[in-house]
Amino acid sequence: GVHKILANAEKLTANLAQKKSLLEMAVSDQESIASIYAALKQAKDITANVEAILEKVDKMAEKTDDMVYGEDGILSTISKGLKDVLAKLKKLDVTIDNVNKISGEAAGSAANLKVLRNEIDAAVNSIGELARELEKKIPFKKAPEIKLP
């Protein structure tokens, strides 16, 4: 009994001295061990690639957030444009009220119609300017490209 225990202890000590891993000592089939190590390395490489892809996706998301929500982003441009259009439409409302009040006076109505026309033109121009600004910020392509590594 004691000799058997000592022999096993010597064998274990010899294996440890050869710096064998616990896997090598447990499996003892070199081919299986090599395939396990290869699979572990492949998993490590895949993990590194996934991390690199996620980093690129994060950078793209940051850029998109800035494009959409940033100070000079799309939403800011839309908001400014809509506020401008709203202000011009409020002026139109006042002008229309004035036209209705003095519709009995032909000369006054003609002058107010000219003002009304100018206000309508200003609102239309403002909407056109907003559309051009949006086209600059959102390049509308027929086929959007998504580049992945």
Q: Note the pLDDT tens digit of each residue in 59-81.
A: 988 888 888 888 888 888 888 88
Residues 123 and 76 in one domain: yes
Per-residue pLDDT band for 48 (boundaries 50, 70, 90) equals very high
Instruction: Name the residue range of residue 51's domain.
Output: 21-59
119: which residues sit within 8 A by CB, 6+ positions away?
88, 91, 92, 95
Residues 82 and 30 in one domain: no
Residues 135 and 87 in one domain: yes
Q: 52 pLDDT exceeds 90?
A: yes
Q: Which residue has the higher pLDDT, 144 or 91?
A: 91
Residues 88 and 122 in one domain: yes
What the block records as the tokens of 92 is 């139109």
Contact yes or no for 120/95 (Cβ under 8 A): no
Residues 82 and 122 in one domain: yes
Residues 85 and 135 in one domain: yes
Contact yes or no for 149/56 (Cβ under 8 A): yes
Residues 127 and 74 in one domain: yes
Long-range Cβ pairs for the range 12-21 (8 Å, 24+): none
Q: 135 pLDDT exceeds 80?
A: no
Of 38-42, 81-85, 128-132, the range with the lowest mean pLDDT is: 128-132
- The stretch 126-144 carries a mean pLDDT of 72
**What pLDDT, on a 0 to 100 scale, did the predictor assign at position 146?**
65
Q: How many domains does the chain have?
A: 2
Amino acid at 147: K
Contact yes or no for 25/8 (Cβ under 8 A): no
Report yes or no on 3 lying in a domain: no
Q: Which of 136, 119, 144, 131 is nearest to 60 (CA)?
A: 144
Report yes or no on 1 lying in a domain: no
What the block records as the tokens of 118 is 């100018």
Residues 52 and 75 in one domain: no
Listed in sequence order, the DSSP H helices in 21-73 are: 22-27, 30-69
Report yes or no on 15 lying in a domain: no
What the block records as the tokens of 102 is 């003095």
Contact yes or no for 105/53 (Cβ under 8 A): no
Residues 115 and 85 in one domain: yes
Report the C-alpha gap between 5 and 2 in whole angstroms.
5
